[in-house]
Amino acid sequence: MKPQGEAPDLLQQDRDLQQLFAGRRPDAGRFAVGVTARIRARTAAVAEGGTSAAHEPQTRVARAAASALPDGAAWLGAKSLLTWLSWPALLLAGSLLGGLGAARELRRDLRGAAVAMGQPSVRSRVGLFLATLPLPLLLVVGIWYRVPLADLLVGLVLMAMVAFVVQVRLLARHGGTRRDHVAGFAVSLLETLFQISMCWTFFGGLAGQEPWEGAGVVWTLLLGVVALLPFVAAPRRWLGLGYVALLIALLPPSTTLRRDSLAAVAADVAAARPAAGELIDWHALASAVEALRAQGTAVDVGAGLRDDLRGWLADGVDLHPQVLSAAVRIGCLDRSAWQDLVGLRKAAAKLSSWDRQGQLYSPDYGFWELPALLATRPGDAAQRAHWLQRVDTLWPNRLDPAAAGMPLVDAWLALRWRELLDAPEPTAELVAAAHRLLLKHQVAKGQRGAGGFTDFPNEQYGDNAAAAFRALDLLARCGAPPGLDLEALHTTLRRNVQQQGAIGRAARGDGLLHRANLVRFEQLFGATSLTPARWLLEARVMLAMLAVVLLCGYAVWLAPPERQGPGALP
């Protein structure tokens, strides 16, 4: 309850307050004229080709940025998808801008220090140090020797950080920099690296790292940001904390996912239903099925895939041999389907060619021919012996190192077809030829995909998934030759899996094939031993990022804290 006598007081106070503000009260007429004048001026400016404040460039930028924000109920739509995809780019841009701002502050410190000391040489000494660093030389050498881009970038960042620490040390010695400025720059740098590594790990894989190593890089940088934030100036600190919270919220959990487990591959195989024209998907699917079966995992493709095939053949669709070969390897063609197939004119012509004499020529996607022949025309012993003889014609080429074509493909076809014809085990001569092939087709160190396999050993195309699959099939049948680098092969197979990222490509095409290859390798050889040297090599990016974080911390520690006020008066 209000006390008695309050009302008159408040009334008096009301009058006093109204009088207090009377001098500041806007004049209604003058105010309206002001508004009108502004409207007219801006309308005229627009009419003359200028821009009104509502259409200034920065407003357009702000609108574009705002349009990227989630828009409520439409969050499931395509716009929302683009929105979420744009977040990493926006965050990265934010980090870069923050870094530029912090670098400007540092530069101002540098100028201030030089002027205050009357020693413009501070800057030149730093510049001299940077110039004497062998950065350009290392860059050229790295590119020349095809050092992976990630390694090159990480190395450059590390060396730049060393230069940065030296610069801060020079400045700090002369009192020319402040701790909050250095911390601001360091935090921006780590945030930028965090963004890049997160995108890289999420969408592509980080320099051949295991998933846990990619996650390790991301978390190392994030912890570095959190550790250095308290040294940034107060307003920016709170801004930075909000930013870090956003980063953590957006940190994809997939950085710790492994998509190469048996169950994951089997699930993707069961769900696969490639179209008639998706040749790589068919090949990958067949290879994944074979890899899983070799592992002892019962696997079957969905009924939809069988229905598709049956329908295509019944309708006389001109299927690519790759699709037929894959269907044969998967085992989803029944007798009626074979009859439909050989009823096709081109297929019948191809099969009748097996009765001829001489050298057999067939690409790997011609694998379907012999199974189709055996399914529709089993043949007597003489015919089978003739077909085996023709299959063996694929081998002599392998004994000639200068042979043209794709020897790995031919050797793989010969081995697989020999099994279909119930031929005896490969002779020692064939096994030796297969070993020579494997050694010749393994990608050498220093090249892209070192340790993997290639169909073209004389070219530097790097490794490819299909060649690795065929090589693993040969390894399964002929064993590993001495001198084959299994550790490098394992590393490359793991890297190829991780490079598919956690979304999209991993479930089909080359992504699925890479995963099948890794499953197959681990089934054949188990996990290879991880020596300390190998561990250091594989964790090099994470260790380098840890060093960057530590150097940032050292630079912040070197810089003197902001000077305090004059102190309390007596």
Binding site for other proteins (CB under 8 A): 9-10, 13-14, 16-45, 52-54
- Specify burial of residue 12 (Cβ count, 10 A radius: 0-12, 13-18, 19+): exposed
Which residues share a beta bridge with 442?
453
Nearer to other proteins, 36 or 336 (CB): 36
Nearer to other proteins, 36 or 124 (CB): 36
Nearer to other proteins, 33 or 248 (CB): 33
Q: Which amino acid is at 374?
A: L
Cβ atoms of 109 and 135 within 8 Å: the answer is no
Whole-number minimum distance, CB 34 to other proteins, in Å? 4
> Cα–Cα distance between 329 and 371 in angstroms, integer?
9
3-state secondary structure 248-272: HHHCCHHHHCCCCCHHHHHHHHHHC
| Residue closest to 481 by CA, chosen among 435, 520, 443 | 435
Cβ atoms of 465 and 507 within 8 Å: the answer is no
> Cα–Cα distance between 366 and 122 in angstroms, integer?
71
Which residues share a beta bridge with 346?
none
> Cα–Cα distance between 551 and 318 in angstroms, integer?
63
User: CA–CA distance from 17 to each of 4, 7, 22, 24, 244 (Å)?
Assistant: 21, 15, 8, 12, 46
Whole-number minimum distance, CB 534 to other proteins, in Å? 55
- How many other CB atoms sit within 10 Å of the CB of residue 346? 9
Whole-number minimum distance, CB 129 to other proteins, in Å? 34
Nearer to other proteins, 3 or 482 (CB): 3
Whole-number minimum distance, CB 17 to other proteins, in Å? 5
> Cα–Cα distance between 444 and 477 in angstroms, integer?
23
Region of 331 (left: φ > 0; alpha: ψ -120 to 50; beta: rest) is left
Q: What is the DSSP string of 276-308?
A: TT-HHHHHHHHHHHHHHHHTT------HHHHHH
Nearer to other proteins, 33 or 81 (CB): 33
Whole-number minimum distance, CB 8 to other proteins, in Å? 12
Tokens 């179209």 map to which residue? 275
Nearer to other proteins, 20 or 248 (CB): 20
Whole-number minimum distance, CB 105 to other proteins, in Å? 15
> Cα–Cα distance between 349 and 120 in angstroms, integer?
85
Nearer to other proteins, 25 or 346 (CB): 25
Nearer to other proteins, 13 or 353 (CB): 13
Whole-number minimum distance, CB 551 to other proteins, in Å? 33
Nearer to other proteins, 32 or 131 (CB): 32
Tokens 């090589």 map to which residue? 471
SS3 454: coil
Cβ atoms of 542 and 152 within 8 Å: the answer is no
- How many other CB atoms sit within 10 Å of the CB of residue 74? 11
Whole-number minimum distance, CB 28 to other proteins, in Å? 7
Tokens 């630079």 map to which residue? 555
Nearer to other proteins, 22 or 64 (CB): 22
Nearer to other proteins, 2 or 335 (CB): 2
Nearer to other proteins, 63 or 174 (CB): 63
Q: What is the DSSP string of 72-126?
A: GGGGGSHHHHHHHHHHHHHHHHHHHHHHHHHHHHHHHHHHHHHHHHT-THHHHHH
- How many other CB atoms sit within 10 Å of the CB of residue 414? 25
Whole-number minimum distance, CB 59 to other proteins, in Å? 9
> Cα–Cα distance between 292 and 329 in angstroms, integer?
12
Nearer to other proteins, 54 or 61 (CB): 54
Whole-number minimum distance, CB 58 to other proteins, in Å? 8
Nearer to other proteins, 28 or 402 (CB): 28
